[in-house]
Amino acid sequence: MTDGRRPSAVELIRSNVLSPAEYAHAATTPADARLVFLAGSCPLDEDGKTVAPGDHAAQAAQCIANLRQALADAGARLTDVISTRVLVASSRQADLVAAWRVVRDAFGEHDVPSTLLGVTVLGYDDQLVEVEAVAAVLDAH
Is there a contact between 129 and 56 (Cβ–Cβ < 8 Å)?
A: yes
Query: Per residue in 50-75, pLDDT tens?
Result: 999 999 999 999 999 999 999 999 99
pLDDT at 1 over 60: no
pLDDT in the model for residue 139: 82
Q: How far apart are CA 45 and CA 102, in angstroms?
A: 18
Q: How far apart are CA 122 and CA 103, in angstroms?
A: 18
pLDDT in the model for residue 2: 42
- Return the minimum-mean-pLDDT range out of 7-16, 56-65, 71-80: 7-16
Average pLDDT estimate for 80-91: 97
For residue 107, the SS3 value is helix
DSSP-derived letter for residue 11 is: E
User: pTM for this one?
Assistant: 0.91
Q: Concatenated DSSP letters for 35-51? A: EEEEEEE-SB-TTSPBP
pLDDT in the model for residue 22: 85
